[in-house]
Each structure stands twice: as structure tokens, then as C-alpha cells.
Amino acid sequence: MDRNPSCEPFYQPLNNEEALFEQAWRHGMPVLIKGPTGCGKTRFVQHMAHRLKLPLYTVACHDDLSAADLIGRHLIGAQGTWWQDGPLTRAVREGGICYLDEVVEARQDTVVVLHPLADDRRELFLERTGEVLKAPPSFMLVVSYNPGYQNLLKGMKPSTRQRFVAMRFGYPPVADEERIVAREAQVDTALATQVVRLGQALRRLDQHDLEEVASTRLLIFTARMIRSGMSPREACMACLAEPLSDDPLTVAALMDVVDVHFG
């Protein structure tokens, strides 16, 4: 569970996303956040959980995620058999936020268990124990995914998607991204500006057929490495070029752009 009331996660608001999220929570509506890798989806949810003073349970979804992983299961030990709640069940019981990151990676039969929680019923059925949990007013279901990774086999069904209030995230405007990099990497404005301008240039290299462009997260990593004493070229190689591609020619092309900005 992510819960540290003494440390507020930094988040730079870009539009009306905070107000929209809070209104959805007040009306008992689940939220779907769409956006590319490293654009701040998870940080935003952490920020809102802190702002609303709610416990946050985060689940990284994957192909093998089962309904039992979310809801819970019976365990056997030296003292016998007992039931252990999963993160979704704990969030419902406590009236917190359950955040499913990259929900389209989970199997469809797993996602279906969310349906009664994501409509007017707001109920969770525990088949193994026979319980039906009614979600308290403070409970909120939040899911996210990267639309760029969707395909025919890994998309969200309309019957699921239409249960959510949807928000689309993107990478921040230049001035906002400079503030974010400076704050998160603890660097001066000049370095943050230089790194962000490099990131903007790398994002324009669509002719190299990159699966993903340079994320804000990678720009923060780069600035942190430079701050720690690593040369800008080494930092950019390790934190930008290599994470973006496995193809040596593409990495070399990315480093050509780095040399223009840090040469």
C-alpha cells in the first residue's frame, strides 16, 4: 500500500485534471487515465490520494494477473487455513483508492470482476467467502493504460471502458516540463531547460520508428545523473538513447542529436 501522509508527492497540474478527479470521486465514479509511458499518470494518482487523504493500493497489471490476485485467496499455514484480502478488497474495505496500472495487460476474465464496482452497484463479490462488499462512499477505482500499446488482443472492451470517466494525459508543455525536471532532479533551471530541449528534439525523430519517445521520467533520470557528476553524454546514453532503442544505428542517431545539444 502507498501511504505516507507526511510526504506529499510532487505533481505539476497542467489542466483541470485535479478538479475532474475530485468531482469523479465525490460522485462515486471510477476514473480511466490514458497516456504514454512516463507522462505522470501514476504520480498524479499518488498526488490525488494524498490530497484526498485516502489509502492507495497500486497494482501493476500483467498477463498472469488473476482475479484472486486482486480479490484475495485462502492461504494454508502452520496455524491452519485463513483468508487473505487482495489489494482490491482491502481498498474497498478501507474506503481507499485501488489503482490498476496498465489495466489492458490483465486478462479479460480478470477485468470483468471490476464491473460491479465500476457501475451503480459499487459492490465486490467474494465468491470464496460468500461475502458481498458494498463499497463505502470514499472508495474509488482508478485504472490506466498506454493507448500506444493497444492492439486487437490487448484492448479495453467498450463494456468496460464505458463505465469510467476518462482523462487523457500527454507530455507537459515545455515550460511545465522544465519546472518538473528542475524540481524532481534537483537541478538548476539552466540544466533543466537544456535537458528538456533535448527531449523535445528527440521526440521529433519519428522517422526512426521508435516505439516510444523520450518520456518526462527519462529526462528526470538524465538530469539526476548529470547532477551527480556523470558527463552529459554518458548520462544521455544511459538514460535516453539506450532505453529508447535496441538498434545500434538508432542509438547512434539519437546520440547525434545529443551531441548537438551538449557538444
> Residue 263 pLDDT > 80, yes or no?
no
Is the Cβ–Cβ distance between 70 and 86 less than 8 Å? yes
Q: What is the mean pLDDT of the chain?
A: 91
Alpha-carbon distance 232 to 258, whole Å?
9
Q: Which three cell numbers stand for residue 120?
A: 451503480
Alpha-carbon distance 132 to 129, whole Å?
9
User: What pLDDT sits at residue 121?
Assistant: 93
Percent of the chain with pLDDT over 90: 73
What pLDDT digit, counting tens, does each position of 183-192 carry?
Answer: 999 999 999 9
User: What pLDDT sits at residue 152?
Assistant: 45
Total Cβ atoms within 10 A of residue 109? 9
CA distances to 43, 118, 188, 224 from 184, rounded to whole Å, are 12, 34, 11, 8
Is the Cβ–Cβ distance between 57 and 236 less than 8 Å? no
DSSP state of 147: G
- Torsion-angle region of 43 (φ positive above 0: left; ψ -120 to 50: alpha; else: beta): alpha
Amino acid (one-letter) located at 171: Y
Amino acid (one-letter) located at 161: R
> Residue 206 pLDDT > 70, yes or no?
no
3-state helix, strand, coil in the chain (%, to 5): 45, 15, 35
Helical segments of the chain, H only: 17-26, 41-52, 67-71, 87-94, 108-111, 158-161, 174-185, 189-203, 216-227, 232-236, 242-244, 248-262
pLDDT category at 244 given cuts 50, 70, 90 is very high
